[in-house]
Amino acid sequence: MTLDHRLLSLLVCPACKGPLELRRDAESRPLELVCAADRLAYPVRDGIPVMLEGEARSLAEAPQAGGEAPQAGSDAPQASSDARAGEP
Ligand SMILES: [Zn+2]
């Protein structure tokens, strides 16, 4: 067990010096350290957190499932068959 709460409290985001949230996988192994302010996730490799901005994963660019749900039916483009514009 390399990561515990005591160690975690010492770890801050290298970008904003803010607190980090430890995420674990399904087997409760440390997965990544998330900075909510920067929306960055720093990977944990073999129990060792990699506190490098260049190694961090951007959460903003890769939203989790359930982010944008397309609205059904409301904004369907109306296709008019008899008024075509820009036909060659
Ligand atoms: Zn940060």
State the average pLDDT over residues 60-70.
58
Is residue 46 in a domain? yes
Answer yes or no: is pLDDT of 55 > 80. Answer: yes
Q: Which of the four pLDDT bands, split at 50, 70 and 90, describes residue 58? A: very high
| pLDDT surpasses 90 at 72 | no
Q: Are 51 and 11 in contact, with CB atoms under 8 Å apart?
A: yes
Instruction: Establish if 69 belongs to a structural domain.
Output: no
How many angstroms separate the alpha carbon of residue 54 from the centre of ligand 1?
13
- Answer yes or no: is 76 within a domain: no
Long-range Cβ contact pairs of 32-36 (< 8 A, separation 24 or more)? 32/57, 33/8, 34/59
Domain that holds residue 52: 5-58
In whole numbers, what is the pLDDT of the chain averaged over residues? 79
Is 82 within the bounds of a domain? Answer: no
Separation of 42 CA from ligand 1 center, angstroms? 10
Torsions phi, psi of 55, nearest 5? -95, -10
Judge whether residue 31 has pLDDT over 90.
Answer: yes
What CATH number does the domain containing 47 carry?
2.20.25.10
Cα-to-chain-centroid distance, residue 77 = 32
How many domains are there within the chain?
1
Does 29 fall in a domain?
A: yes
How many whole angstroms from 86 Cα to the centroid of ligand 1? 49
Would you say residue 81 lies in a domain? no
Instruction: Report, as an integer, the average pLDDT of 56-66.
Output: 72
